[in-house]
Structure 1
Amino acid sequence: MKPLLDEVSSRIKEAREVLGPVIHRTPLLPSRTLSDVTKAEVFLKLENLQKTGAFKVRGAYYKISKLKRAEGVTRVVAASSGNHAQGVAYSASLLGVDATIFMPRYTPFYKVNATRSYGAQVILYGETYDDAYKKAVEFAEEQKAPLIHPFDDLDIIAGQGTIGVEIFEDAPNVDVVLVPVGGGGLISGIAVALKKLNDRIKVIGVQPSGAPAMYLSFKQRKLVETPNVWSIADGVIVKRPGETTLRIMEETVDDVVLVDDKDIARAVFILLERAKTVAEPAGALSVAALLSGAVEARGKRVVAVVSGGNIDPSMLSRIINQVLFIEGRQVRIRGMLPDRPGQLKKVVDVIAELGLNIVSIDHERVNPLVIPGMAQVTLGLEVPSKESVNLLLVKLKELGLNFEEVA
């Protein structure tokens, strides 16, 4: 194993030279909010501010540049449902290489359009990433063009490993580095870089509980395939992790933990509200591990890698709304009112008296389950506290209006 780690380490050094003029050296910024919550000293490595909005461009550019120098390639092929596609497309455009990217048929339009905007040919194929990947392999063989794998490739791993060097240079006394995990390319590179610089640093991977292939593989010390996967963190959904990445992780990674989708959504929300940075669900996994307690950080200096920020605005909106309800900052109340003029105004007047804000009103009188002559009213409210909701319900009851909080 040592020769493999030495080889990756050597390539990381070369990748730094190659990538220097091309990529952003992303900031490592302290987070007071996360530090207060975890009783630790937390820093964010903001790869969501990288070109193309994610770390993937590092490995993609390094890989394609080597192929062009060594073999003079004029075309590359890749399969991806998101960030790898954009990383390959952007890198190929800079290097004057044609890129053909296979993406699943139901990939969100904004991801497809972003990939095409960098000049790549996008072919939509299959229902899943695995379908697109198989077709990409066939196409690459037919065209005699190299396939740029998203994670199980030493050059890809080395390109991502440059993040680890930057972290060490900016925070040499870091204790723990948390890294999102899908197929393992990102954490493999970061772990090799950090362990070579200081093997005391703990490197911990974070994966969604709905797509735990690498978590299971790492724990069982063998490749485990998970056929049924789902998570809002679509950027790290992998049914079968990489063989090379698993071998490297077994030697360099200290642990892998799981977080659920509610933790991930809350992490995206906290990063937006308090850190003023937009992260996609996959990119927020490391922060989710801190907020959920999956990783004990108290008293330690911790770096959380925010690996990407390419999130569909509609998904971001849904996450914001869900977290506001989960944290009790928005509520819904429902009650029955006589279907007569002025009845709803009584409710609105009490809400205004308490200084609460109405977000939505749903007024139903034709529902067959509603008693004739009555109307069912559901109101969405912004509230400062649970106590204010209870006070509202009490005041409405004093007026003979029976309302209750609903999910």
Structure 2
Amino acid sequence: MSLKVEQLPRNHNSLTESYEIVRRFVSEPTELREYKRDHRGNMFLMKDETDNPTGAYKWRGSAVKLNRLFGNELSGVVTASAGNHGQGVAWVASKMGGSAEVFVPEGTPQSKLDGLGRLGAKIHLIGSNFDEATEIARRYAASHDQPFIHPFDDYDIMDGQGTIGQELVEQFREQSLHHDDLVVFVPVGGGGLIGGVSRSIKELTDGRVKVVGVQVEGSDSAAVSFGVSTSARQMHYEGFSRIYSSTSRPGQDGSYCRIQATRPNEEVDGTRVNLVGDYCARSINQYVDEFLVVSPRLIGQFYRENPNSTLEPAGALSLVGAEAYSNLPRASLLYLVSIGSGKNQDPRRIQNLIKGP
């Protein structure tokens, strides 16, 4: 019989415990720094999640999940990944004395495959997309009596990613940034990062800091699902495909929906997900204020204007969203906070974005 991975109820203590687990692996919070101001006086800041052995933030969720699941007795785990989650699981597993088998879809960037290899993962390159790789990995884990770790649709994973939000709230205090003037932009694929970050920020600031999800056109499952579930107003401005601004929350019965992505974007591979996670959607609908859907053209523009950027397209997505958001008509000045979520670049994909359709 395979080990069942239970989903436990979340409470405020889970935030504290998650933070303590994460600090065992990386002792200091990642940096929050200003990177520019615009002519209107808006300040742009980025939380850099790339300065670690995996090059991305996903080790956080892996650390919390594996510690809660195994304690100090980890042997082997199975997961599916577009690359960064697999590296996170492999790194944490190796630090805990265990190993990881990672199922990745065909077409995964070589940089991410190389990273998995460096971290000691056993790689299974299989399936034409993430969903196929995930289903194959689930069956493999069950037949080998090993736990399957989902890359985003898991409350423990979300709690781990949510430690970014905890660090941000403390850094806002240290830098004297007023909660009511802050907007945090979060890149979204399956929803694990925003599900965790939005919860921790909202609970630790009494809901005063605005949280905005950013998706790229095509890979829009979370945004569209949010729009329908919360009866969001859909607006159109230059630079955006759509903006969903919540006007209500799901009823007390917790009703919500999940809608398939229009056509997942191949070039922004880190957010190439067909369907937002079930647990993720519940958290998103409860805590997130708005969603932006941006054109891949804006991501290409970002690389033309920042040719030395080390961020991968999904890692730059929230910066692109913040830049476009700053051009919306509004009276007050803002602190626009983005999460630089990964640096495992595929040069071919970046060149395709720069060239455009």
TM range (shorter): 0.7 to 0.9
Contact 1:28–1:44 under 8 Å retained in 2: yes
Does residue 59 (structure 1) correspond to residue 61 (structure 2)? The answer is yes
> 1:391-402 counterparts in 2 under 5 A?
none
- Counterpart of 1:261? 296
The aligned amino acid for 2:220 is P
Displacement, 1:267? Answer: 2.6
Secondary structure, in 3 states, of the residue corresponding to 1:51? coil
Q: Structure 1 residues 42, 8: CA separation in 2 closer, same or farther (over 3 Å shift)?
A: farther
CA-atom RMSD in angstroms: 2.4
Instruction: Give the Cα separation in 1 of the matches to 2:304 and 2:55.
Output: 18
Displacement, 1:231? Answer: 4.3
Does residue 310 (structure 1) correspond to residue 344 (structure 2)? The answer is yes
Instruction: Give the Cα separation in 2 of the matches to 1:67 and 1:209.
Output: 36
Displacement, 1:5? Answer: 11
The aligned amino acid for 1:31 is Y
Larger radius of gyration: 1
Alignment size in residue pairs: 314
Secondary structure, in 3 states, of the residue corresponding to 2:102? strand
Contact 1:51–1:57 under 8 Å retained in 2: no
- Counterpart of 1:338? none
Which is further off, 11-20 or 151-160? Answer: 11-20
Q: Pick from 27, 47, 69: which aligns with 2:31?
A: 27
Contact 2:74–2:93 under 8 Å retained in 1: no
> 1:117-156 counterparts in 2 under 5 A?
117-156=118-157
- Counterpart of 1:330? none
- Counterpart of 2:183? 176
Instruction: Give the Cα separation in 2 of the matches to 1:79 and 1:139.
Output: 11
Instruction: Give the Cα separation in 2 of the matches to 1:38 and 1:279.
Output: 26
Contact 2:218–2:261 under 8 Å retained in 1: no
Gaps of 5+ in 1: 324-406
- Counterpart of 1:192? 199
Deviations 1:291-340 (A, max 9, x none): 23477476111211111111123444555x649xxxxxxxxxxxxxxxxx
- Counterpart of 1:368? none
Instruction: Give the Cα separation in 1 of the matches to 2:313 and 2:52.
Output: 16
Instruction: Give the Cα separation in 2 of the matches to 1:138 and 1:97.
Output: 21
Identity within the alignment, %: 34
Q: Pick from 192, 202, 214: which aligns with 1:206?
A: 214
Q: Pick from 6, 13, 16: which aligns with 2:16?
A: 13
Contact 1:208–1:231 under 8 Å retained in 2: no
Contact 1:268–1:284 under 8 Å retained in 2: no
Instruction: Give the Cα separation in 2 of the matches to 1:185 and 1:211.
Output: 15
Displacement, 1:268? Answer: 3.9
Contact 1:268–1:280 under 8 Å retained in 2: no
Higher relative contact order (CA 8 A, sep 6+): 2
Q: Structure 1 residues 103, 316: CA separation in 2 closer, same or farther (over 3 Å shift)?
A: same
Contact 2:74–2:96 under 8 Å retained in 1: no
Q: TM-score, normalised by structure 2?
A: 0.82
Q: Structure 1 residues 113, 251: CA separation in 2 closer, same or farther (over 3 Å shift)?
A: same
Displacement, 1:61? Answer: 1.5
Displacement, 1:265? Answer: 2.1
Contact 2:79–2:86 under 8 Å retained in 1: yes
Instruction: Give the Cα separation in 2 of the matches to 1:43 and 1:204.
Output: 15
Gaps of 5+ in 2: 1-6, 230-256
- Counterpart of 1:40? 42
Displacement, 1:227? Answer: 6.3
Displacement, 1:22? Answer: 1.1
Displacement, 1:6? Answer: 8.1
Contact 2:14–2:159 under 8 Å retained in 1: yes
Deviations 1:83-108 (A, max 9, x none): 11111111111111121100112222
Q: Structure 1 residues 17, 234: CA separation in 2 closer, same or farther (over 3 Å shift)?
A: same
Instruction: Give the Cα separation in 1 of the matches to 2:40 and 2:92.
Output: 38
Deviations 1:92-142 (A, max 9, x none): 111111211001122222211210111111011111111110100001111
Q: Structure 1 residues 272, 161: CA separation in 2 closer, same or farther (over 3 Å shift)?
A: farther
Name segments (4+ residues, structure 1) moved above 3 Å: 268-273, 293-298, 313-319
Contact 1:210–1:231 under 8 Å retained in 2: no
Contact 2:111–2:345 under 8 Å retained in 1: no
Q: Structure 1 residues 37, 145: CA separation in 2 closer, same or farther (over 3 Å shift)?
A: farther
Deviations 1:212-268 (A, max 9, x none): 110111111111013632242110111011111111111110011101111112234
Q: Structure 1 residues 92, 311: CA separation in 2 closer, same or farther (over 3 Å shift)?
A: same
Contact 1:8–1:189 under 8 Å retained in 2: no
- Counterpart of 1:392? none
Q: Pick from 316, 321, 328: which aligns with 1:284?
A: 316
Q: Structure 1 residues 217, 196: CA separation in 2 closer, same or farther (over 3 Å shift)?
A: same
Instruction: Give the Cα separation in 2 of the matches to 1:128 and 1:75.
Output: 24
The aligned amino acid for 2:228 is Q
Q: TM-score, normalised by structure 1?
A: 0.72
- Counterpart of 1:347? none
Secondary structure, in 3 states, of the residue corresponding to 1:7? coil
